Amino acid sequence: MSTQFNNDWRYTTSFHSVPDSGDPFVEIVINELERRSWSSKDLFAVRLALEEAIANAVEHGNRRDPTKKVDVSAEISVERVLLRVRDEGDGFDESTIPNPTLVENLEIPTGRGLFLIRNFMTNVWRGSNGAELFMEKTPTPNDV
Amino acid sequence: MSDSKVHLMVRYEDNAAIADCLDVKLNEELSIQSWGDEMYALLENCNEERVIVNFQNVKFMSSSALRVLITANNKAKAKRVALFLCNIDENILEVFKITKLDSLFKIRPTEVEALHSQI
């Protein structure tokens, strides 16, 4: 469902937990940001964060159960993009995730998704039930 | 499960196998699995002293692609093959820097530098 009013833009949808099922949503968001002349660097950051969040929701939250859904939404204004990804899982304790940048963890292939989200977005926070992730990015100054 | 597309084009030069990544985006799960399978097979069957993965075409990469690269690097070390990465897009290079994986991989700006770097 898409709503457009004034200069704001909102979109919300949901999809089943199968590989790459979130791709159309990602493309819709990126296309809207491109239309607003966001820089390639910021587009890269938003795409990365959104893809990582959706992958985590499918793999860890819904444990690849195709009957479970991922709810997503995006709000874009002049000042920012706000993204929400929610799965049907029980949430998780972020303190249990090892720091992937420690020397002893560098050769571990997995566990970088949330770390990348936090580094590429301006603000990241989780909803009260822990299975909902909010990600906000403001455009890099002088790039819009 | 993997797709049926070719993701790596391999050439041989100066005792090195040079693998050109053909994808613009390394983010779709099935494509990444196939890309990884091709990379692992290349390393498994490699008789060269170095393998260079050229990312000239790649403009986006998710952490799933990093997972493949780390696994490939581990396989290369086990086989005593030097794995080099080159021509990495600046946005993707930032991912390597933030995750400190730039300290794990032998990253060179160009294929020529990867070809002539000391092992």
Q: Which domains does chain B have, with CATH numbers?
A: 8-114 (3.30.750.24)
pLDDT at A143 over 90: no
CA distance A54 to A86: 9
Count interface pairs A-B at CB distance under 8 A. Answer: 55
The predicted-structure confidence for A66-125, as pLDDT tens digits, reads as follows 999 999 999 999 899 999 999 999 988 888 899 999 999 999 999 999 999 999 999 999
| Most B CBs within 10 Å, among A102, A110, A118, to test the B interface | A110
The whole-number pLDDT of residue B1 equals 59
CA distance A17 to B21: 28
User: 0.95 cut: is pTM over it?
Assistant: no
Q: Do B91 and A100 touch (CB under 8 A)?
A: no
Q: Do A48 and B62 touch (CB under 8 A)?
A: yes
**Which CATH class name applies to A2-137?**
alpha beta
Provide the 8-state DSSP code for B39.
H
Q: Place A13 in a pLDDT band, splitting at 50, 70 and 90.
A: very high
Q: Which residues of chain B have pLDDT under 70?
A: 1-2
pLDDT at A54 over 60: yes
DSSP B43-90: HHT--SSEEEEE-TT--EE-HHHHHHHHHHHHHHHHTT-EEEEES--H
Q: Which residues of B touch A52 (CB under 8 A)?
A: 62-63
Q: Place A3 in a pLDDT band, splitting at 50, 70 and 90.
A: very low
pLDDT at A7 over 80: no
Q: Which residues are registered as beta bridge partners of B86?
A: B54, B108
The CA-atom distances, in angstroms, between A104 and each of A95, A108, A131, A136 are: 17, 8, 29, 31
The whole-number pLDDT of residue A94 equals 85
Amino acid sitting at position A80: R
Contact B51, B14 (CB under 8 A): no
Closest CA to B91 of B114, B65, B67, B59: B59
The tokens describing A12, both together, are 């919300």
